[in-house]
Structure 1
């Protein structure tokens, strides 16, 4: 995200319409791409997702209808093409907002599955391209799994502490970049899951 976007809070999504708007795979890809870029045009995003700018424009308008993105000031060019930017620092969903009606619960599950699939695709892409990254990046990357015995309260505490640590490093990186320290910085994906299971 651009510097001004990095300071925005996450938006809590609790309505079915917005959840359905985000549950479209292309829209979610566009939303993610906008967060990485800070702002972009339909043509720029179309190149990233390998889709026609007209189709991308349609889906951007759908995201805008739900207040997830908005028009941005043109960054370059002659101003004929619309620029878009996220309206928040991301989205968050909470289980308690989607209990009750079967349609709502199903939409919540479908969205969560889409996120898992897209995150897995991103990691698979890294694995396929790992050899092209410098050795220090390959060494710094991680993949681990732990099986713990916790209470629900302990799991909630663990998840909050992990998120606090991620936020700390996010802030450190953004502050350094704003000060001009951009050497060696790359986009880094950190995916955290903490959930119960029965053997």
Structure 2
């Protein structure tokens, strides 16, 4: 049974294990599917089952995923699930040493690129979605002048809001309310920047 809390990644080895393009995608897919086999995941990432199995074992070796209860009577299949409700990777855990900071930066760039690719895929597929989904989709820019404390407070409020909506949706789905539900990704970035003089 996965932990209900996000796992905080603080060591470079685990960060590097997750910050591999295929492993990051497999981890996300498991978080979405909640439980799956290497065969099921290989179809979604268009890779050989043996390669997917190898990368799943690497994720498991770092405690990011774990074996799940079998979902069928086929004892030959190995089922996997996330070991926690998600992960958190914080800048403050990788400061101070150039190698740690570089690993964190490389991982952050990879995750961002994958998120951007995911959104581009939605844009390409937008004509295939019903109008109500396209109307409900969010694409927003906000420009503010904040202090670090204000940005931290905003981040915490957004995280609490997301948790509340996720918990409500999971409870409704568990109660049988599955009509019209789809997977939804919400990516948010909040960061300081300076306007360069002309």
User: Aligning the two structures, in what range does the TM-score lie when normalised by the shorter sequence?
Assistant: over 0.9
For 1:197 and 1:103, the matched residues in 2 are separated by 25
Q: Deviations over 1:4-55 (max 9, x none)?
A: 65x7110000001000100100000000011111111111110000000000
Equivalence map 1:34-113=2 (5 Å): 34-113=30-109
Instruction: Tell me the equivalent position of 1:30.
Output: 26
For 1:83 and 1:138, the matched residues in 2 are separated by 34
Instruction: Tell me the equivalent position of 1:144.
Output: 140
| 1:193 and 2:176 matched | no
For 2:179 and 2:133, the matched residues in 1 are separated by 14
Per the TM alignment, residue 77 of structure 1 is displaced from its structure 2 partner at its CA by: 4.5
Instruction: Tell me the equivalent position of 1:164.
Output: 160
Secondary structure of the residue aligned to 1:149 is: coil
For 2:74 and 2:145, the matched residues in 1 are separated by 59
Instruction: Tell me the equivalent position of 1:127.
Output: 123
For 2:47 and 2:40, the matched residues in 1 are separated by 10
* TM-score normalised according to structure 1 size: 0.95
For 1:14 and 1:183, the matched residues in 2 are separated by 39
Instruction: Tell me the equivalent position of 1:173.
Output: 169
Secondary structure of the residue aligned to 2:67 is: strand
Aligned length: 195
For 1:150 and 1:36, the matched residues in 2 are separated by 33
Secondary structure of the residue aligned to 2:143 is: coil
Match of 2:11 among 9, 15, 21: 15
For 2:69 and 2:170, the matched residues in 1 are separated by 22
Unaligned runs of 5+ in 2: none
Instruction: Tell me the equivalent position of 1:154.
Output: 150
Change (3 A) 1:144 1:197: same
Match of 1:118 among 89, 114, 117: 114
For 1:113 and 1:51, the matched residues in 2 are separated by 23
For 1:185 and 1:94, the matched residues in 2 are separated by 31
